[in-house]
Amino acid sequence: MKYSVLSLFSGCGGLDLGFKKAGFHTVFATDVWDIACDTLKENNAADEVVCEDIRNVDFTRFHNSVDVVIGGPPCPPYSQTRHYLTEKKGGFEDEKAGFAVPEYFRAIKEINPKVFMFENVDGFTFKTYQEPM
């Protein structure tokens, strides 16, 4: 039995390739970068590749039908270096990618997979990047 995978923030498919080599089957992959999406398509990384801002992707059609969600939201807002750059906002406040982590978990909620794999940098655990309650 091959487990189905939905890939978020896929990039050129590094995580996807690892899961494929482990016997998983990626049914859907998405990224916002055209070059990455072209690479995913060229390598047949997924049954469907969508090149779109994740904020515009509706994942409800995958509700309860995907086994695994994988992805690594952009890490610069959470890097250790960003922690020390006082002129740049970090974490959820980052103008370019602060939305990515909440969007990852929105997708998890809409998809309701059996399991998910979230990849990011160790700076992600810094107290300064915790979402306010």
Geometric angle at alpha carbon 117, from 78 and 98, rounded to 5°: 30
Q: Is 75 a catalytic residue?
A: yes
Q: For 103-132, b where at least 16 C-beta lie within 10 A, e where not — what string?
A: bbeebbeebebeebeeebbebbebeebeee
Residue with the two structure tokens 């039995």:
1
- Which one is catalytic: 12, 37, 51, 75? 75
Largest CA distance in the chain: 50
Residues belonging to the active site? 75
